[in-house]
Structures are given as C-alpha cells and as structure tokens.
C-alpha cells in the first residue's frame, strides 16, 4: 500500500467471528470506491494478569493496530461485539490509549462509523453503537450512520440500524451474517469511503 494512498482504518475486536466477517464486508465496500483503500486491524484480548500472554502478532486474521494506523487514517470504521450495551474491553483499552492523538487533534474532521454484533435482537445493538460514538466525538471526528436511503434497513428482520450496521448472532453466537446484514456492511463501507475522500479534500483545501 502506498503511503500516499488514503485509507479507511477498519478496527475491530471479534470473539466468535461475526464482527470479523462484518469488518471484511465493510472493507470490501471501501475498496469498491476508487482512490481509497481499507486497512484491517484488530486488538488483542485484555489479560487478567500483569504480563503479556499472547504473541505480538496474532496467528491468524488481521494484525494488531497501533496508534500510527489511527493517526494516519482518513476515516475510521470501528466494530465490537456488545458487552452489556458497551464495546468490548479490548477495544476500549485501545481507545483509552489514544490521548496523544486527542491532544494533537489528529482525528479532527475525519469521518467515523461503527458496527456491532449481539446474541439477541434487543441485546444492546443501538446502545453499543451509541456508546462507541462518544470517544469518537471527543476526538472531533464526524460520525456517519446508515441513512434510510439504504432500503435494506426497512427490509431486515435481524441486524441493521441507522446508527451503524449490526448483526444478530443468536444465543450461541453461531448465526452467519445474512444477506441483509452483508448488504448494509457494504453500503456502510462505501459511504465512509466517499466521506473520507470528501473530507480529506476539504482538509487539504484548508491548509
């Protein structure tokens, strides 16, 4: 990937695989837009002990994010399974480490969106997305949901909200991401990519 090519950072934490699948679909939507790429990154689990217990590079899937991935992105798509209506602790741990970016205004006027997965239909999809929004606003980011021009929002009986894409994983977290959910993930990826390019041009004009 060229250093000059703008990218959307698709940052996620996944335990059962659904959030990872959604991240890949959002990345595909991003890369369907000319002039921008997707960068998939994850975060390591939080250990209950003081020492590191996992390798620095995961055995499979996306590599772990660092602050430079976030600092240099043109947009952020952030995803997590719900934990009592909030993002999972590993993702929150990473977000809590971004104070230096906040102090330098590194993310101001960059677009952001969120996505999530829950075991039950009313298991906290909307509250998770809304609580994920809060630190992004502190960073000065421009939040983008899913507009109702995406008619799949009116058709889905599982995941999908105007606050961001979502997935109904089922009580055993083994339900696959369905066609409606995939469609909304792709649409969200395309929208965040277009906004990234537009706001990047705006920031460059302001220099």
- Residues with Cβ within 8 Å of residue 176, at least 6 apart in sequence: 18, 21
Q: What is the pLDDT of residue 193?
A: 98
In a domain, 122, yes or no: yes
153 phi and psi angles, rounded to 5 deg: -60, -30
Domain of 172, CATH number, reads 3.40.50.360
Which of 47, 49, 31 minimizes the C-alpha distance to 39? 31
In a domain, 59, yes or no: yes
What is the number of structural domains in the chain?
Answer: 1
Write down the pTM of the prediction.
0.93
Range of the domain at 144: 7-206
Q: State how far the Cα of 113 lies from the Cα of 170, in Å rounded to an integer.
A: 24
Name the β-bridge partners of 83: 86
Which of 44, 40, 37 minimizes the C-alpha distance to 13? 44
Q: What is the pLDDT of residue 138?
A: 97
In a domain, 1, yes or no: no
**Block means of pLDDT (10 residues each) for the chain, length 207 residues?**
80 94 98 98 80 62 92 98 94 96 97 95 91 97 97 94 94 91 97 98 89
In a domain, 112, yes or no: yes
In a domain, 2, yes or no: no
């Amino acid at each position: 990937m060229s250093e000059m090519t703008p990218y959307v950072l698709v940052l996620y934490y996944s335990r059962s695989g659904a959030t990872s699948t959604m991240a890949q679909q959002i990345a595909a939507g991003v890369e369907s837009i000319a002039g921008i790429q997707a960068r998939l990154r994850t975060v390591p689990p939080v250990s209950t002990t003081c020492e590191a217990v996992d390798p620095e590079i995961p055995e499979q899937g996306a590599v772990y994010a660092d602050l430079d991935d976030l600092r240099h992105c043109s947009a952020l798509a952030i995803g997590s399974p719900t934990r009592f209506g909030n993002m999972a602790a590993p993702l929150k741990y990473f977000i809590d480490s971004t104070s230096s970016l906040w102090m330098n205004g590194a993310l101001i006027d960059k677009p952001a969106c969120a996505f999530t997965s829950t075991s039950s239909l009313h298991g906290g999809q909307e509250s998770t997305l809304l609580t994920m929004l809060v630190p992004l606003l502190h960073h000065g980011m421009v939040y983008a949901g899913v507009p109702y021009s995406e008619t799949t929002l009116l058709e889905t009986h599982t995941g999908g909200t105007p606050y961001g894409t979502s997935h109904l994983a089922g009580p055993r977290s083994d339900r696959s991401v369905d066609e409606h959910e995939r469609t909304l993930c792709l649409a969200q990826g395309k929208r965040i990519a277009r906004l990234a390019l537009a706001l990047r041009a705006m920031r460059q004009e302001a220099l």
